[in-house]
Amino acid sequence: MSRKLYALGLCGSARCGKDSFYFIAKKYLSNLGYHPYRVSFADVLKQDVNEFLLEKTGINAFTEDAEEKELIRDFLVAYGTKLMRRIDENYWISKVEEAIHFPSRLNTLPTSIPIFTDVRYLNELKWIRETLSGTIIHITRAGTLPANTEERKNDPILHLHSDLHLEWKDFKNKKVGGDDRRAVEQVIQKCLRAPSARRQHAKTIAYNRKI
């Protein structure tokens, strides 16, 4: 018997496939009658500093230009982690709550499922699990390494505390295919079968992409 799915939190190193997981999961869950939507801690950080960046540099914090992204990357990390998290480690959790109107949205539309695509710290993981009764999924992909010292420090901790794990080979330049979709759907099915969202450490799903 399936249970209600309340929230999902995705963690893993940069470029491991969290956004790819989200787009597959969104389609699959929509077909099951849920209303999944993306939530990003990075988005609220960028919103916090966007006006300042535009005024001082002319660069939009949400830029997709690779050169501009590289220019502002250190600033975003310094502001988000070195400054605001030191002042209040739950600052970005509070900003996310404000941005997406928890808990009113979940009460208005009970089938809503926020999917957090960039869980990077243990307090964020615990908030999703304990406050939203969410399930945490750790994703790894062959060929990807932690992008910085923060990831090297925190990713093993997140892996240890995650409920489910998805491992897949390098996508390289290939598009996401049927095997990828089935792997994500298997993870979602495990979420729906789990008797509780709280610390259900399921067996790792080892998925080898066929190339």
The string of pLDDT tens digits covering residues 128-141 is 999 888 999 999 88
Tokens coding 110: 């009970």
The string of pLDDT tens digits covering residues 22-36 is 999 999 999 999 999
| Nearest by Cα to 12 from 168, 183, 191 | 168
What pLDDT, on the 0 to 100 scale, is given for residue 205? 40
Three-state DSSP string of 92-134: HHHHHHHHHCCCHHHHHCCCEEEEECCCCCHHHHHHHHHHHCC
What pLDDT, on the 0 to 100 scale, is given for residue 3? 56
What pLDDT, on the 0 to 100 scale, is given for residue 202? 37
Tokens coding 43: 């988005």
| Nearest by Cα to 119 from 96, 101, 98, 142 | 96
For the cut 90, the answer to whether the pLDDT of residue 122 exceeds it is yes
What pLDDT, on the 0 to 100 scale, is given for residue 172? 59
What pLDDT, on the 0 to 100 scale, is given for residue 70? 87
What pLDDT, on the 0 to 100 scale, is given for residue 1? 38
The string of pLDDT tens digits covering residues 151-207 is 889 999 999 999 999 988 765 555 666 778 888 999 999 988 865 444 444 334 444
Q: Are 7 and 114 in contact (CB under 8 A)?
A: yes
Distance CA 145, CA 13 (A): 7
The string of pLDDT tens digits covering residues 38-55 is 999 999 999 999 999 999
Sign for the pseudo-dihedral over CA of 149, 91, 58, 64 = positive
Q: Write 51-57 long-range contacts (CB < 8 A, 24+).
A: none
Higher pLDDT: 147 or 105? It is 147
Whether the pTM exceeds 0.75: the reply is yes
For residue 41, what is the DSSP state?
H
What pLDDT, on the 0 to 100 scale, is given for residue 173? 56
Residue type, 47: Q
Distance CA 121, CA 155 (A): 8
For residue 171, what is the DSSP state?
-
What pLDDT, on the 0 to 100 scale, is given for residue 176? 63
Share of the chain above pLDDT 90, in %: 56
